[in-house]
Structure 1
Amino acid sequence: MDNNNTSTQTIANLYGLDGKKLQRQYRDYLSEFKDWEYLEQSTKWLVYPQNIGKRLSIDEIALSQGELYTVVTNKKAKGRAGSIVAIISGTKSEEVIKYLKKIPEGKRRLVEEITLVMAGGMKLIAKKSFPRAVQVIDRFHVQQLASDTVQDIRVKYRWQALELENEAIKTAKNNNYQYLAEVFSNGDTRKQLLARSRYLLFKSPDKWTSSQKERAGILFKQYPMIKDQS
Protein backbone atom coordinates (compact mmCIF):
# COMPACT_ATOMS: atom_id res chain seq x y z
CA MET A 1 0.00 0.00 0.00
CA ASP A 2 1.31 3.46 -0.94
CA ASN A 3 1.51 5.64 2.18
CA ASN A 4 3.01 8.71 0.49
CA ASN A 5 1.19 12.01 1.05
CA THR A 6 -0.79 13.28 -1.94
CA SER A 7 -2.40 16.72 -2.15
CA THR A 8 -6.07 17.16 -2.98
CA GLN A 9 -5.01 19.28 -5.95
CA THR A 10 -2.98 16.38 -7.36
CA ILE A 11 -5.94 14.04 -7.00
CA ALA A 12 -8.25 16.63 -8.57
CA ASN A 13 -5.92 17.04 -11.56
CA LEU A 14 -5.71 13.27 -11.98
CA TYR A 15 -9.48 12.82 -12.12
CA GLY A 16 -10.43 16.11 -13.76
CA LEU A 17 -12.06 17.60 -10.66
CA ASP A 18 -12.23 21.10 -9.19
CA GLY A 19 -9.28 21.19 -6.78
CA LYS A 20 -10.65 23.85 -4.43
CA LYS A 21 -14.04 22.17 -4.25
CA LEU A 22 -12.45 18.80 -3.50
CA GLN A 23 -10.35 20.41 -0.77
CA ARG A 24 -13.45 21.92 0.86
CA GLN A 25 -15.35 18.65 0.66
CA TYR A 26 -12.45 16.74 2.18
CA ARG A 27 -12.15 19.26 5.00
CA ASP A 28 -15.88 19.47 5.73
CA TYR A 29 -17.04 15.88 5.20
CA LEU A 30 -14.22 13.35 4.84
CA SER A 31 -11.50 14.48 7.24
CA GLU A 32 -13.66 14.68 10.39
CA PHE A 33 -12.25 18.19 10.85
CA LYS A 34 -15.57 19.42 12.23
CA ASP A 35 -15.42 16.76 14.93
CA TRP A 36 -11.88 17.69 15.98
CA GLU A 37 -11.83 18.11 19.76
CA TYR A 38 -9.73 21.28 19.52
CA LEU A 39 -11.74 22.93 16.72
CA GLU A 40 -13.36 25.64 18.85
CA GLN A 41 -10.13 26.79 20.48
CA SER A 42 -7.93 26.33 17.40
CA THR A 43 -8.55 29.86 16.11
CA LYS A 44 -7.18 31.25 19.39
CA TRP A 45 -4.55 28.83 20.60
CA LEU A 46 -3.02 25.40 20.21
CA VAL A 47 -0.28 23.90 22.35
CA TYR A 48 1.67 20.68 21.85
CA PRO A 49 3.48 19.91 25.13
CA GLN A 50 4.91 16.72 23.63
CA ASN A 51 6.96 18.81 21.20
CA ILE A 52 8.79 20.84 23.82
CA GLY A 53 12.58 20.61 23.97
CA LYS A 54 15.60 22.21 25.61
CA ARG A 55 16.04 24.84 22.89
CA LEU A 56 13.06 26.82 21.62
CA SER A 57 12.36 29.82 19.41
CA ILE A 58 9.53 32.32 19.80
CA ASP A 59 8.46 34.77 17.11
CA GLU A 60 5.45 36.57 15.70
CA ILE A 61 4.20 35.48 12.29
CA ALA A 62 1.51 36.90 10.00
CA LEU A 63 -0.79 34.10 8.88
CA SER A 64 -4.45 34.29 7.82
CA GLN A 65 -5.34 37.70 6.32
CA GLY A 66 -2.28 39.29 7.88
CA GLU A 67 -3.32 38.48 11.45
CA LEU A 68 -0.38 38.09 13.82
CA TYR A 69 0.25 34.90 15.76
CA THR A 70 2.86 34.08 18.37
CA VAL A 71 4.58 30.83 17.48
CA VAL A 72 6.87 28.76 19.69
CA THR A 73 8.94 26.07 17.99
CA ASN A 74 11.40 23.37 18.97
CA LYS A 75 14.72 24.18 17.27
CA LYS A 76 15.83 20.55 17.32
CA ALA A 77 13.00 19.57 14.95
CA LYS A 78 14.36 22.01 12.31
CA GLY A 79 10.95 22.77 10.81
CA ARG A 80 9.91 19.16 10.41
CA ALA A 81 7.05 17.30 12.10
CA GLY A 82 6.97 18.02 15.81
CA SER A 83 8.37 21.54 15.45
CA ILE A 84 5.41 23.50 16.77
CA VAL A 85 5.15 23.79 20.54
CA ALA A 86 2.47 26.49 20.52
CA ILE A 87 0.65 28.79 18.13
CA ILE A 88 -1.38 31.57 19.74
CA SER A 89 -3.49 34.28 18.14
CA GLY A 90 -2.14 37.77 18.82
CA THR A 91 0.98 39.09 20.52
CA LYS A 92 -0.35 40.47 23.82
CA SER A 93 1.99 39.24 26.53
CA GLU A 94 -0.66 38.39 29.09
CA GLU A 95 -2.71 36.38 26.59
CA VAL A 96 0.26 34.46 25.23
CA ILE A 97 1.55 33.70 28.73
CA LYS A 98 -1.89 32.46 29.79
CA TYR A 99 -2.02 29.91 27.00
CA LEU A 100 1.61 28.86 27.27
CA LYS A 101 1.00 28.06 30.91
CA LYS A 102 -1.37 25.34 29.75
CA ILE A 103 1.84 23.42 29.10
CA PRO A 104 2.72 21.64 32.37
CA GLU A 105 5.17 23.63 34.46
CA GLY A 106 7.55 20.70 34.70
CA LYS A 107 7.94 20.64 30.92
CA ARG A 108 8.35 24.41 30.69
CA ARG A 109 11.11 24.37 33.29
CA LEU A 110 13.07 21.91 31.15
CA VAL A 111 13.70 24.61 28.54
CA GLU A 112 17.31 25.80 28.75
CA GLU A 113 17.43 28.34 25.92
CA ILE A 114 14.90 30.39 23.98
CA THR A 115 15.69 32.50 20.91
CA LEU A 116 13.55 35.60 20.44
CA VAL A 117 13.36 38.96 18.71
CA MET A 118 14.30 42.24 20.39
CA ALA A 119 10.90 43.16 21.78
CA GLY A 120 9.94 43.78 25.38
CA GLY A 121 6.78 41.72 25.04
CA MET A 122 8.65 38.66 23.82
CA LYS A 123 11.16 38.94 26.66
CA LEU A 124 8.35 39.03 29.21
CA ILE A 125 6.64 36.03 27.61
CA ALA A 126 9.88 34.05 27.67
CA LYS A 127 10.65 35.00 31.27
CA LYS A 128 7.20 34.14 32.62
CA SER A 129 6.63 31.01 30.54
CA PHE A 130 10.11 29.47 30.54
CA PRO A 131 11.71 30.80 33.75
CA ARG A 132 14.90 28.74 33.57
CA ALA A 133 15.67 29.45 29.92
CA VAL A 134 18.51 31.72 28.85
CA GLN A 135 17.20 34.32 26.40
CA VAL A 136 19.13 34.64 23.14
CA ILE A 137 18.43 37.45 20.68
CA ASP A 138 17.81 36.27 17.11
CA ARG A 139 20.89 37.39 15.14
CA PHE A 140 18.86 37.79 11.95
CA HIS A 141 16.59 40.24 13.73
CA VAL A 142 19.62 42.19 14.96
CA GLN A 143 20.95 42.36 11.40
CA GLN A 144 17.55 43.52 10.14
CA LEU A 145 17.38 46.28 12.75
CA ALA A 146 20.88 47.44 11.83
CA SER A 147 19.95 47.48 8.14
CA ASP A 148 16.76 49.41 8.87
CA THR A 149 18.74 52.00 10.85
CA VAL A 150 21.16 52.56 7.97
CA GLN A 151 18.30 52.92 5.49
CA ASP A 152 16.51 55.39 7.78
CA ILE A 153 19.63 57.56 7.89
CA ARG A 154 20.00 57.37 4.10
CA VAL A 155 16.36 58.38 3.58
CA LYS A 156 16.74 61.30 5.99
CA TYR A 157 19.76 62.59 4.07
CA ARG A 158 17.93 62.11 0.76
CA TRP A 159 15.01 64.25 1.92
CA GLN A 160 17.48 66.91 3.02
CA ALA A 161 19.16 66.76 -0.40
CA LEU A 162 15.81 67.12 -2.16
CA GLU A 163 14.86 70.12 -0.03
CA LEU A 164 18.21 71.80 -0.63
CA GLU A 165 17.96 71.18 -4.36
CA ASN A 166 14.43 72.58 -4.50
CA GLU A 167 15.61 75.69 -2.68
CA ALA A 168 18.58 76.04 -5.04
CA ILE A 169 16.32 75.68 -8.10
CA LYS A 170 13.95 78.29 -6.69
CA THR A 171 16.83 80.68 -5.97
CA ALA A 172 18.23 80.20 -9.48
CA LYS A 173 14.84 80.89 -11.03
CA ASN A 174 14.34 84.04 -8.97
CA ASN A 175 17.77 85.31 -9.98
CA ASN A 176 17.47 84.39 -13.67
CA TYR A 177 20.25 81.83 -13.91
CA GLN A 178 20.29 78.11 -14.69
CA TYR A 179 20.63 75.70 -11.80
CA LEU A 180 23.29 73.04 -12.26
CA ALA A 181 23.27 70.14 -9.81
CA GLU A 182 26.52 68.93 -8.29
CA VAL A 183 27.76 65.79 -10.07
CA PHE A 184 30.16 63.35 -8.43
CA SER A 185 32.92 61.43 -10.19
CA ASN A 186 30.64 58.45 -10.91
CA GLY A 187 28.03 60.63 -12.63
CA ASP A 188 25.54 60.71 -9.75
CA THR A 189 24.01 63.89 -8.47
CA ARG A 190 23.63 64.08 -4.70
CA LYS A 191 20.01 62.96 -4.71
CA GLN A 192 20.82 60.17 -7.19
CA LEU A 193 23.71 59.04 -5.00
CA LEU A 194 21.43 58.71 -2.01
CA ALA A 195 18.66 57.01 -3.98
CA ARG A 196 20.90 54.53 -5.81
CA SER A 197 22.84 53.60 -2.68
CA ARG A 198 19.77 51.86 -1.31
CA TYR A 199 20.61 48.58 -3.02
CA LEU A 200 24.27 48.36 -2.08
CA LEU A 201 23.46 48.98 1.60
CA PHE A 202 21.40 45.78 1.60
CA LYS A 203 24.39 43.77 0.37
CA SER A 204 27.61 42.62 1.96
CA PRO A 205 30.58 44.74 0.75
CA ASP A 206 32.27 41.65 -0.68
CA LYS A 207 29.32 41.28 -3.07
CA TRP A 208 29.42 44.86 -4.39
CA THR A 209 30.04 45.38 -8.09
CA SER A 210 32.78 47.78 -9.18
CA SER A 211 30.25 50.58 -9.71
CA GLN A 212 28.71 49.92 -6.30
CA LYS A 213 32.14 50.07 -4.67
CA GLU A 214 32.74 53.44 -6.32
CA ARG A 215 29.32 54.70 -5.25
CA ALA A 216 29.85 53.45 -1.69
CA GLY A 217 33.19 55.26 -1.47
CA ILE A 218 31.58 58.54 -2.46
CA LEU A 219 28.58 57.97 -0.18
CA PHE A 220 30.69 57.21 2.89
CA LYS A 221 32.94 60.20 2.25
CA GLN A 222 29.94 62.52 1.98
CA TYR A 223 27.98 60.89 4.80
CA PRO A 224 30.31 59.28 7.38
CA MET A 225 27.38 58.49 9.68
CA ILE A 226 26.04 55.98 7.15
CA LYS A 227 29.43 54.26 7.11
CA ASP A 228 29.58 54.22 10.91
CA GLN A 229 26.18 52.51 11.10
CA SER A 230 26.86 50.00 8.31
Structure 2
Amino acid sequence: MGCTTAPRCSWESVAGIVVRVVAEAVDDARLEALYRIGVDEISYRSQHRYLTIVADHDRDGAVVWAKEGKDAKTLEAFYEELGEERTKALEAVSLDMGGAYAKATRTKAPQAAQCIDPFHVVKLANQAVDKCRRWAWARYRLSPGHATWIERTRWALLKDPNKLKPSQREILEELKAQHGALYRAYLIEEALRDVYRAGPAEASERLDAWLAWACRSRIPAMVQLSQTSTLLN
Protein backbone atom coordinates (compact mmCIF):
# COMPACT_ATOMS: atom_id res chain seq x y z
CA MET A 1 0.00 0.00 0.00
CA GLY A 2 1.48 3.35 -0.99
CA CYS A 3 2.36 5.94 1.63
CA THR A 4 -0.21 8.35 0.19
CA THR A 5 -3.00 5.76 -0.06
CA ALA A 6 -3.64 4.71 3.53
CA PRO A 7 -3.78 8.16 5.12
CA ARG A 8 -5.30 9.69 1.96
CA CYS A 9 -2.47 12.16 1.79
CA SER A 10 -1.48 13.91 -1.44
CA TRP A 11 2.02 13.66 -2.87
CA GLU A 12 2.35 17.41 -2.45
CA SER A 13 1.72 16.95 1.27
CA VAL A 14 4.30 14.15 1.41
CA ALA A 15 6.88 16.44 -0.19
CA GLY A 16 6.09 19.14 2.32
CA ILE A 17 6.44 16.68 5.19
CA VAL A 18 9.83 15.51 3.94
CA VAL A 19 11.12 19.06 3.67
CA ARG A 20 9.84 19.96 7.15
CA VAL A 21 11.33 16.83 8.70
CA VAL A 22 14.73 17.60 7.24
CA ALA A 23 14.49 21.18 8.48
CA GLU A 24 13.23 20.29 11.96
CA ALA A 25 14.64 16.86 12.80
CA VAL A 26 18.28 17.72 12.23
CA ASP A 27 20.03 19.99 14.69
CA ASP A 28 20.35 23.72 14.23
CA ALA A 29 24.04 23.39 13.44
CA ARG A 30 23.36 21.40 10.26
CA LEU A 31 24.46 24.31 8.06
CA GLU A 32 27.62 25.01 10.05
CA ALA A 33 31.09 23.86 8.99
CA LEU A 34 30.08 22.81 5.49
CA TYR A 35 33.07 22.42 3.20
CA ARG A 36 32.28 19.55 0.82
CA ILE A 37 28.67 18.97 -0.09
CA GLY A 38 26.72 16.79 -2.50
CA VAL A 39 23.62 17.90 -4.39
CA ASP A 40 21.20 15.50 -6.03
CA GLU A 41 17.55 15.05 -6.79
CA ILE A 42 15.08 12.38 -5.80
CA SER A 43 11.82 11.78 -7.61
CA TYR A 44 8.38 10.95 -6.29
CA ARG A 45 4.86 10.60 -7.64
CA SER A 46 5.89 8.29 -10.48
CA GLN A 47 8.97 10.44 -11.13
CA HIS A 48 6.98 13.52 -12.08
CA ARG A 49 7.95 15.57 -9.02
CA TYR A 50 11.37 16.16 -7.52
CA LEU A 51 13.12 17.14 -4.32
CA THR A 52 16.59 18.67 -4.27
CA ILE A 53 18.69 17.17 -1.49
CA VAL A 54 21.94 18.62 -0.09
CA ALA A 55 24.22 16.32 1.93
CA ASP A 56 27.44 16.87 3.86
CA HIS A 57 30.24 14.63 2.56
CA ASP A 58 32.29 15.26 5.70
CA ARG A 59 29.50 13.88 7.90
CA ASP A 60 28.96 10.58 6.10
CA GLY A 61 26.44 12.05 3.67
CA ALA A 62 24.11 13.45 6.32
CA VAL A 63 21.22 15.34 4.72
CA VAL A 64 21.34 19.00 5.73
CA TRP A 65 18.75 20.58 3.45
CA ALA A 66 15.86 19.68 1.12
CA LYS A 67 13.40 21.58 -1.02
CA GLU A 68 10.85 20.71 -3.68
CA GLY A 69 12.07 21.34 -7.23
CA LYS A 70 15.22 20.62 -9.21
CA ASP A 71 16.03 23.81 -11.09
CA ALA A 72 18.74 26.40 -10.50
CA LYS A 73 16.46 28.55 -8.36
CA THR A 74 15.85 25.63 -6.02
CA LEU A 75 19.55 25.23 -5.25
CA GLU A 76 20.04 28.99 -5.14
CA ALA A 77 17.55 28.97 -2.25
CA PHE A 78 19.94 26.69 -0.35
CA TYR A 79 22.90 29.01 -0.91
CA GLU A 80 20.80 31.98 0.18
CA GLU A 81 19.78 30.19 3.38
CA LEU A 82 23.39 29.19 3.95
CA GLY A 83 24.42 32.83 3.75
CA GLU A 84 27.33 34.58 2.11
CA GLU A 85 30.01 33.78 4.68
CA ARG A 86 29.22 30.08 5.00
CA THR A 87 28.84 29.77 1.23
CA LYS A 88 32.33 31.22 0.76
CA ALA A 89 33.68 28.41 2.95
CA LEU A 90 32.52 25.72 0.50
CA GLU A 91 35.46 23.99 -1.16
CA ALA A 92 33.76 21.39 -3.37
CA VAL A 93 30.26 20.55 -4.58
CA SER A 94 29.40 17.22 -6.19
CA LEU A 95 26.58 17.41 -8.72
CA ASP A 96 24.72 15.47 -11.35
CA MET A 97 25.46 16.04 -15.03
CA GLY A 98 22.62 18.49 -15.62
CA GLY A 99 23.26 22.19 -15.98
CA ALA A 100 20.84 23.62 -13.40
CA TYR A 101 22.79 22.84 -10.22
CA ALA A 102 26.07 23.79 -11.90
CA LYS A 103 24.63 27.16 -12.89
CA ALA A 104 23.41 27.88 -9.36
CA THR A 105 26.79 26.90 -7.92
CA ARG A 106 28.73 29.06 -10.39
CA THR A 107 26.50 31.98 -9.47
CA LYS A 108 26.41 31.59 -5.69
CA ALA A 109 29.62 29.69 -4.87
CA PRO A 110 32.07 30.36 -7.72
CA GLN A 111 35.10 29.48 -5.58
CA ALA A 112 33.90 25.90 -4.99
CA ALA A 113 35.25 23.14 -7.21
CA GLN A 114 32.44 21.38 -9.06
CA CYS A 115 32.68 17.59 -9.24
CA ILE A 116 30.43 15.11 -11.03
CA ASP A 117 28.98 12.55 -8.66
CA PRO A 118 30.67 9.15 -9.23
CA PHE A 119 27.26 7.49 -9.59
CA HIS A 120 26.56 9.43 -12.76
CA VAL A 121 30.01 8.83 -14.28
CA VAL A 122 29.92 5.09 -13.58
CA LYS A 123 26.42 5.00 -15.04
CA LEU A 124 27.85 6.43 -18.27
CA ALA A 125 30.51 3.72 -18.23
CA ASN A 126 27.88 1.02 -17.73
CA GLN A 127 25.94 2.39 -20.69
CA ALA A 128 29.10 2.30 -22.80
CA VAL A 129 29.74 -1.34 -21.89
CA ASP A 130 26.15 -2.23 -22.69
CA LYS A 131 26.51 -0.49 -26.05
CA CYS A 132 29.52 -2.73 -26.75
CA ARG A 133 27.48 -5.77 -25.75
CA ARG A 134 24.66 -4.82 -28.10
CA TRP A 135 27.18 -4.29 -30.89
CA ALA A 136 28.57 -7.79 -30.27
CA TRP A 137 25.05 -9.22 -30.25
CA ALA A 138 24.27 -7.54 -33.59
CA ARG A 139 27.47 -8.92 -35.05
CA TYR A 140 26.51 -12.48 -34.13
CA ARG A 141 22.74 -12.22 -34.48
CA LEU A 142 22.73 -14.64 -37.42
CA SER A 143 24.19 -17.24 -35.08
CA PRO A 144 21.27 -17.72 -32.65
CA GLY A 145 23.16 -19.72 -30.05
CA HIS A 146 26.02 -17.26 -29.95
CA ALA A 147 23.75 -14.21 -29.87
CA THR A 148 21.69 -15.70 -27.03
CA TRP A 149 24.85 -16.32 -25.01
CA ILE A 150 25.94 -12.70 -25.49
CA GLU A 151 22.54 -11.57 -24.23
CA ARG A 152 23.17 -13.52 -21.02
CA THR A 153 26.41 -11.62 -20.37
CA ARG A 154 24.57 -8.41 -19.50
CA TRP A 155 24.38 -8.76 -15.73
CA ALA A 156 27.85 -10.26 -15.45
CA LEU A 157 29.20 -7.17 -17.22
CA LEU A 158 27.22 -4.57 -15.29
CA LYS A 159 27.08 -6.04 -11.81
CA ASP A 160 29.45 -5.06 -8.99
CA PRO A 161 32.32 -7.61 -9.22
CA ASN A 162 32.08 -8.25 -5.48
CA LYS A 163 28.49 -9.42 -5.90
CA LEU A 164 28.94 -11.73 -8.88
CA LYS A 165 27.56 -15.25 -8.68
CA PRO A 166 29.90 -18.14 -9.58
CA SER A 167 28.01 -18.62 -12.85
CA GLN A 168 28.53 -14.95 -13.72
CA ARG A 169 32.25 -15.22 -13.00
CA GLU A 170 32.37 -18.15 -15.40
CA ILE A 171 30.67 -16.01 -18.04
CA LEU A 172 33.37 -13.35 -17.64
CA GLU A 173 36.12 -15.94 -17.99
CA GLU A 174 34.53 -17.27 -21.16
CA LEU A 175 34.03 -13.73 -22.40
CA LYS A 176 37.70 -13.01 -21.82
CA ALA A 177 38.64 -15.95 -24.02
CA GLN A 178 36.11 -15.47 -26.81
CA HIS A 179 35.31 -11.77 -27.13
CA GLY A 180 38.41 -9.69 -26.53
CA ALA A 181 36.96 -6.27 -27.33
CA LEU A 182 33.89 -6.69 -25.13
CA TYR A 183 35.98 -7.98 -22.25
CA ARG A 184 38.41 -5.06 -22.64
CA ALA A 185 35.45 -2.69 -22.47
CA TYR A 186 34.47 -4.36 -19.20
CA LEU A 187 38.00 -3.93 -17.82
CA ILE A 188 38.01 -0.26 -18.79
CA GLU A 189 34.70 0.26 -17.00
CA GLU A 190 36.00 -1.47 -13.87
CA ALA A 191 39.20 0.60 -13.96
CA LEU A 192 37.04 3.72 -13.85
CA ARG A 193 35.38 2.41 -10.68
CA ASP A 194 38.87 1.96 -9.22
CA VAL A 195 39.66 5.63 -9.86
CA TYR A 196 36.93 6.54 -7.37
CA ARG A 197 38.22 4.02 -4.85
CA ALA A 198 41.69 5.60 -4.88
CA GLY A 199 42.83 8.11 -2.31
CA PRO A 200 43.32 11.80 -3.19
CA ALA A 201 47.05 11.32 -3.78
CA GLU A 202 46.51 8.59 -6.39
CA ALA A 203 43.21 9.56 -8.00
CA SER A 204 44.55 12.16 -10.44
CA GLU A 205 47.29 9.87 -11.75
CA ARG A 206 44.87 6.96 -12.09
CA LEU A 207 42.36 9.12 -13.94
CA ASP A 208 45.00 10.27 -16.43
CA ALA A 209 46.05 6.67 -17.03
CA TRP A 210 42.43 5.60 -17.44
CA LEU A 211 41.69 8.37 -19.95
CA ALA A 212 44.72 7.38 -22.02
CA TRP A 213 43.75 3.68 -21.97
CA ALA A 214 40.13 4.30 -22.93
CA CYS A 215 41.13 6.73 -25.70
CA ARG A 216 43.62 4.25 -27.21
CA SER A 217 41.29 1.26 -26.89
CA ARG A 218 39.88 1.67 -30.42
CA ILE A 219 36.52 0.61 -28.99
CA PRO A 220 34.15 3.37 -30.21
CA ALA A 221 31.93 3.44 -27.11
CA MET A 222 34.97 3.62 -24.82
CA VAL A 223 36.68 6.30 -26.89
CA GLN A 224 33.50 8.36 -26.70
CA LEU A 225 33.35 7.76 -22.94
CA SER A 226 36.92 9.01 -22.53
CA GLN A 227 36.10 12.14 -24.52
CA THR A 228 33.01 12.83 -22.41
CA SER A 229 34.98 12.23 -19.21
CA THR A 230 37.69 14.63 -20.37
CA LEU A 231 35.08 17.36 -20.81
CA LEU A 232 33.77 16.64 -17.31
CA ASN A 233 37.22 16.55 -15.74
Q: Match of 1:102, SS?
A: helix
Aligned mates of 2:170, 2:18 — CA distance in 1? 56
- After superposition, the CA RMSD in angstroms is 4.0
Q: CA deviation at 1:136?
A: 2.2
Contact persistence 1:56–1:115 (CA under 8 A): yes
Q: CA deviation at 1:40?
A: 9.7
Structure 2 counterpart of 1:87, from 54, 57, 66: 66
Residue 195 of structure 2 aligns with which residue? none
Distance 1:216 1:77, change over 3 A: same
Structure 2 counterpart of 1:212, from 169, 172, 175: 172
Are 1:55 and 2:36 counterparts? Answer: yes
TM-score (norm 2): 0.56
Q: CA deviation at 1:137?
A: 2.3
Distance 1:121 1:62, change over 3 A: same
Residue 132 of structure 2 aligns with which residue? 153
Q: CA deviation at 1:146?
A: 0.4
Are 1:190 and 2:146 counterparts? Answer: yes
Q: Match of 1:94, SS?
A: helix
Aligned mates of 1:76, 1:221 — CA distance in 2? 40
Q: CA deviation at 1:72?
A: 0.8
Is the deviation greater in 134-143 or in 217-226?
217-226
Contact persistence 1:86–1:100 (CA under 8 A): no
Q: CA deviation at 1:85?
A: 2.8
Aligned mates of 1:42, 1:215 — CA distance in 2? 48
Larger radius of gyration: 1
Aligned-residue identity in percent: 20
Aligned mates of 2:128, 2:41 — CA distance in 1? 21
Q: Match of 1:111, SS?
A: coil
Distance 1:69 1:146, change over 3 A: same
Residue 69 of structure 1 aligns with which residue? 51
- The Cα offsets for residues 91-143 of structure 1, whole Å up to 9 and x where unpaired, read as 11234324532331111111111122233223222222322211222223211
Letter in 2 for 1:218: Q
Letter in 2 for 1:190: H
Q: CA deviation at 1:226?
A: 7.0
Structure 2: 5+ residue stretches without partners: 8-12, 188-218, 226-233
Letter in 1 for 2:72: S
Structure 1: 5+ residue stretches without partners: 1-19, 25-33, 166-180, 183-188
Aligned mates of 2:100, 2:82 — CA distance in 1? 19
Aligned mates of 2:139, 2:151 — CA distance in 1? 12
Contact persistence 1:70–1:90 (CA under 8 A): yes
Distance 1:224 1:40, change over 3 A: closer
Q: CA deviation at 1:41?
A: 11
Letter in 1 for 2:107: K
Aligned mates of 1:41, 1:210 — CA distance in 2? 45
Distance 1:132 1:222, change over 3 A: closer
Letter in 1 for 2:116: I
- More helix by proportion, 1 or 2? 2
Aligned mates of 2:44, 2:182 — CA distance in 1? 42
Are 1:120 and 2:80 counterparts? Answer: no
Taking the TM superposition and a 5 Å limit, the aligned residue runs for 1:4-43 are: 42=19
